[in-house]
Structure 1
Amino acid sequence: MPVLARFVTAPLVVDVRRGALKELAQVLADQRISTSGRVAIAVGPTYGPIVQNTFEHGLVDADWFTVDGGTINTAIRLVDQIKQQRYDAIVGIGGGTVLDVTKFAAARLGLPMVAVATSLAHDGIGSPISTLDNDAGRGSYGVPAPIAVVVDLDLIAQAPPRSVRSGIGEIVSNLSAIADWEAAHAAHGEEIDGLAVSLARTSAQAVANHPGGIADEVFLATLAEGLVLSGISMVVAGTSRPSSGACHEISHAIDLLHPERRAFHGEQVGLGAAFAWYLRGDEAAFATTVDCLYRHGLPVRPAELGFGLEEFGEVVAYAPQTRPGRITILEESALTPEGIAKAVADFDDQVSTRIS
C-alpha cells in the first residue's frame, strides 16, 4: 500500500523560553541559517538599543536597522536599505509592527526571515501575512512565513500587559473563525483543511482553558506556542481562514471607519468573536469567550472600545465589505439596519448580565 503524505512548510526552529534571545547567534549557526552571523537585524526605536546591547559580543558582523512605523512605505524603505549589502537572512526583533515590516522586506528581497518576538499581541509571530498601513487604510499581504521563531519569555514579561492581553483575544477568536469556516463548508461547499482547523482550535482551547494569567510564565509559554501554531495553521491552509472570520471583519471595519480609535488588534477581534457567538446563538461558546476575555481584562462591551451602540452597529454593518467573498455569520445573518441595532443592543445586555 502506498504511503501518501503532504509536505507542510514549518519553521526550522520554534524556541520559547527564558533567555532565548542571548543564544540567537547559536541558533542561526546551528540551523545553517547564517553560520557567519552576517544578517540584517530590524528593530523598533524603543527597544532597539536595549536589544542591541544583548549582542555586544555576538553577531558582531550583523547590521542594524530601525523600523519606525508599520506602513508599506516603511517596509519598502527597509528593503532599499538592506539591499545595499549581502546578507544570509533578515532578523526582526520586536512586536507585531516590526515583524510585519520585516516579513514584507524579506519577501521582497528573497531572504529567509527570523522572527524574534518581544510581545505576544497577535499571531503574526509565525504567520505568512504582513499587515501594513497603506494609502487606502490597512492591508494584509501574503509573505513567506518565518524560517525560525524565537520568543524570549524574559522580554515578554517586560512587555506592556495590554499587549499580552491582546494576544489572548487574538488566539481565542480562532474558535469563532473556525465556526465560520465550518459553516461555510457545510452550507456552501467551501473547501476546508482539517489539519489547519486542528492546529488553530487546539491552540485556542489551550489558552482559553488555561487557569493562569499574564503574570504566569507557564501561561505565557502556552500563549506564545499557541500564537505560533495559529500562524502555522494559516500556512497549512494557504489562507487566513483558520483564524479570521466575522471577528476579523469587525476589527477591519473599525480600522477603516475609525482609524483614530484603533485599539489593539486582539482587543478588537476578541470582542468581534463574542458578538459572532451571540449571532450564532451558541450560548456555551458565547459564555466561554466572554468569561475568558473578562477574566484577562479584555474589552467585552462596545463601550470598552470607545464605541456607542449605534456606532458599533455601523461597524457591524460595514464589516462584510472588508473581506468580499468571505462567508461568515455576518453575511449569513443578512441583518437589516434595524436587525443590527437590535442585535447589538441585545448583545450588550447579555454581556452585561454575564459579567455582573
Structure 2
Amino acid sequence: MPLLARFVTAPLVVDVRRGALAELAKILADQRISTSGRVAIAVGSTYGPIVQHTFEHDLVDADWFTVEGGTINTAIKLVEQVRKNRYDAVVGIGGGTVLDVTKFAAARLGLPMVAVATNLAHDGIGSPISTLDNDAGRGSYGVPAPIAVLVDLDLVAQAPPRSIRSGIGEIVSNLSAVADWEASHRLHGEEIDGLAISLARTSANAVMNHPGGILDDNFLSALAEGLVLSGLSMVVAGTSRPSSGACHEVSHAIDLMHPDRRVYHGEQVGLGAAFAWFLRGDQQLFTATVDCLHRHGLPVRPVDLGFSLEEFAAIVDYAPQTRPGRFTILEELGLSPAAIIAKVNEYNDHVFARINADGAVTPEGRLI
C-alpha cells in the first residue's frame, strides 16, 4: 500500500494576539506540556523583570534565568544552570537572541521548548535553527522547533519599530530564497519540497501584499503568522533552503567581514533579496521587493546599511564562501570582481530611480 501522507512536526499551539502571554500557564497545562508548572523560563535583561512580575501569582514553581547575549557560551551557561534541576520544559520569553539561546539549551537538555516572542525581528520564533555567535563569527545550529509559539502583540507593540521592520525584510527574502532553490533543482537536480516552498512563498506574499504597516494589528498578525510558517517550512524541508539563499549569503558575509557594523538580520537579507532579484533580471519581483522594503522604511541600497558601493561589492564577492555547496544566483552567475562592481553600481542606479520619485534621496544615497 503506498504511503498517502507524511507526518510533519508542527507546534501544538500557535497563539498570536494581544494578551497571549497571560495565557502561558493555561496553555502549558492544557496541552500537557507542563501540568505542574515546573518549567525553566529564560528571559532577557530588558523585559525579564516585567515578565516575571506578570507571573508572580502564576507559575510559582517555575525557575527564572536571565540570558545575557546571543553567544554559544551563553547557551551552554544556560544548559549548565537548567540541568541542576528537573523541569518539564524550557520556555524562552524575549526577542530572537533569547529564543535562539533557549532553543539551543533545550535541545542539549532534551526538553521541549516553548517560544514566547516579544518582537518579530526574524523567523527564528518557529524555526528549527538556532543562530549564535561563536569564536569563528556566527553559526547556525540545527535544533528541534518550538513545541508551542506565542506572540503577544502587546509586547510586540513595545519593541523597537526597527526590530519589527527587520521581520518584514526576513519574510520577504523567502521569495528570493525559493527562486534559488528552484534554480538549483532545475540546473543541478537538487531535491525540492513543494510543501515547504508553498509555506515559504505564501507567508512572504501575505506580508509583501498587505496594505497595512507596523502600527496595524492586522499587519502584525500577518507578519507573526508568516514568520511562524516560514519556520515551519524549514521543518518540512529539513533544511533552511526555503528561506535562505543568496539573500542570506550576503548577510552572512556582512556578519563575517564587518562584525562591528552588522545591523538587524532582516535588514541585511532584505537588501540581499532585492539585489538577487536584480541579478536575475526579474523586473517585476525586483520592483515589488524594493517597493515593499522602502515603504516599510527598510534599507534598499548599500549606503542605507552604512556601506560604500565598493564595500558592498566586496561583500557580494565573498558571500558564496559563507555557504559552501549551496547553489544560488551568485554561484550561478559566477561574476568576476569587476563584473560585481558593475552590477552593484547598476543596481544602485536602478534603486535610486525607483525610490526617487518624491525626491527623498540624493544620488549619493544619503537620506535627506
Asked if TM exceeds 0.5, the reply is yes
Specify the alignment match of 1:184 in structure 2.
184
Deviations 1:298-349 (A, max 9, x none): 0000000000000000000000000000000000010011100000000000
Specify the alignment match of 2:340 in structure 1.
340
Question: Partner of 2:335: helix, strand, or coil?
Answer: coil
Q: Does 1:139 align with 2:130?
A: no
RMSD (CA atoms):
0.6
The offset of 1:56, in angstroms, is 1.4
| In 2: Cα distance, 1:267 partner to 1:106 partner | 28
Specify the alignment match of 2:259 in structure 1.
259
| In 2: Cα distance, 1:27 partner to 1:156 partner | 20
Deviations 1:106-134 (A, max 9, x none): 00000000000000000000000000000
Specify the alignment match of 1:52 in structure 2.
52
Could you list the runs of 5+ residues in structure 1 that have no partner in the other structure?
none
Specify the alignment match of 2:363 in structure 1.
none
Specify the alignment match of 2:290 in structure 1.
290
* Residue type of the alignment partner of 1:269: V
| In 1: Cα distance, 2:168 partner to 2:3 partner | 39
| In 2: Cα distance, 1:155 partner to 1:271 partner | 27
Specify the alignment match of 1:65 in structure 2.
65
| In 1: Cα distance, 2:179 partner to 2:136 partner | 30
Specify the alignment match of 1:87 in structure 2.
87
The offset of 1:240, in angstroms, is 0.1
Specify the alignment match of 2:237 in structure 1.
237
Specify the alignment match of 2:9 in structure 1.
9
Which ranges of 4 or more aligned residues in structure 1 deviate by more than 2 Å? none
The alignment-based identity, stated in percent, is 81
The offset of 1:198, in angstroms, is 0.2
The offset of 1:3, in angstroms, is 6.0
Aligned length: 356
Specify the alignment match of 2:360 in structure 1.
none
| In 2: Cα distance, 1:133 partner to 1:44 partner | 16
Specify the alignment match of 1:201 in structure 2.
201
The offset of 1:153, in angstroms, is 0.6
| In 2: Cα distance, 1:72 partner to 1:85 partner | 21
Structure 1's 173 and 17: CA in aligned 2 closer, same or farther, altered over 3 A? same
The offset of 1:2, in angstroms, is 5.4
Please give the TM-score of this superposition, normalised by the length of structure 2: 0.96
| In 2: Cα distance, 1:309 partner to 1:262 partner | 16
The offset of 1:53, in angstroms, is 1.1
* Residue type of the alignment partner of 2:15: D
Specify the alignment match of 1:26 in structure 2.
26
Specify the alignment match of 1:36 in structure 2.
36
| In 2: Cα distance, 1:342 partner to 1:192 partner | 32
Which residues of 2 match residues 293-308 of structure 1 at below 5 A? Answer: 293-308=293-308
Question: Partner of 1:259: helix, strand, or coil?
Answer: coil
Question: Partner of 1:43: helix, strand, or coil?
Answer: strand
| In 2: Cα distance, 1:6 partner to 1:109 partner | 28
* Residue type of the alignment partner of 1:118: T
* Residue type of the alignment partner of 2:226: G
Question: Partner of 1:159: helix, strand, or coil?
Answer: coil
Which residues of 2 match residues 74-223 of structure 1 at below 5 A? Answer: 74-223=74-223
* Residue type of the alignment partner of 1:229: L
Question: Partner of 2:92: helix, strand, or coil?
Answer: strand
Please give the TM-score of this superposition, normalised by the length of structure 1: 0.99
